[in-house]
Every structure is written in C-alpha cells, then in structure tokens.
Structure 1
Amino acid sequence: MAILLTDSARARIQGYLDGDPQALGLRFGVSRSGCSGWGYKVDMARQQQADDVVFDDGGVRIYVDAASLPQVDGTRIDFVKQGLNEQFTFDNPNVTGGCGCGSSFTTGPDARA
C-alpha cells in the first residue's frame, strides 16, 4: 500500500505545509461525484482521524481515510506546469474508466461491489 509523490508534487505540498503551521500533511481521498462515480478530494490534514492510513513520502505525510484507500492505493501524485497553467495530476492504477469530461472515474473495486 502506498501513495507516491513526484519531486514536484512533494515540493508544492511542502510549500503549502510551510505556510500553514496547523497542517499535519496532505489529506487525499475520494467522494461520490460525477457520472462515473468517484472524484478526488485533496486538502490539508489538520487532524488525524481514527480510520486514517498515513503514508510518508520524503517527509510529507499523506492521510487517507480507510473508505477511500481501495480507490486510491498506489496513486502517484504529480504537480505539472504547462505555460501559465499549474495542476496536480493523479496516475491511479485502480481507474478502469471515466466520464467524457474527465471529472470522475470508476475503479476496479466498483466492479466487485
């Protein structure tokens, strides 16, 4: 089990953490969204929940709630800059399909449910 950060994602997240002394790390998970089923939730974690699984990648802690873990386990988070645009991207090995606009996705665990 792991959530991985590229160097650029780690640096960007560390910048957010440095600016927010109450943040413990990155909170990463999913919620029901869109026409395909899941959308990513990304925020700063300010407290650890009882069901959180915590990963550490180069000193950045990543908090994932137990319900989200089957959908995001193994995800590689990147931060890319293209011209004036900047965004986090997610390379999630669990994704089996997505909606046409790209706002939501389906995972293998969905097919088993």
Structure 2
Amino acid sequence: MKKIYPNVQARDVLEVFCFEQFSGEYFDRIQKPILRISFSYNQSLPKGGYHMLEGCIGCHKCYEVCPQKCIDINQKPVKTIHEYCLHCAKCKEICPKQVIVKI
C-alpha cells in the first residue's frame, strides 16, 4: 500500500470493509404494476406481503382496493402476487372475513 499511497495521511483514509450480511428490496417503478424484488446476502430474505387463508369467500374487495391489482382472483382463496405487492395492507383492512394475514 505504501507504493500506491506514499502519503501516510492518504493511506489512513483507506478503510477495508466487508459485508457479512445484508438484505434489501429493488423497485422497478417504470413497470406497471410496479415490480418489487427482495434480495439478501448471508441471511434469509425478509418476510413481507399478505397471504389469504382458507375462509376467503371470493368477494374480490381486496382486489378492488389494491393499487397494484396484484391479487389473483381466478382462484379461491385468492392469492397475492408477492413480486408486485407494495405491503400497503389495504387488502387486509377491507377483508370482510378477516382471513388476510401478514407474512
């Protein structure tokens, strides 16, 4: 390092670091609906989003309030498409049977 940084003060500026673990999310706001991708290194992915339990009556109120329209209403119980979910909880709030849970 002395050859690269002959000045002692400049050499002190250099700090070597290493990430032991991290996680984050990438949002592609250009896509419609917005795409959300979680990533991590050396730890499990953060949990998030909402899951519909048995007991769903197929009323589709969750789909109507979802800003992303990321709920597959072609099945029962309906299913969240997690790559597009923004975790706004509007689906959970509107569900008349209260069968939507945060994961």
**TM-score, normalised on structure 1?**
0.25
Higher fraction of strand:
1
Whose RCO is larger (CA < 8 A, sep 6+)?
1
Q: Which has the larger radius of gyration?
A: 2
After TM superposition, the score normalised by the length of structure 2 is 0.26
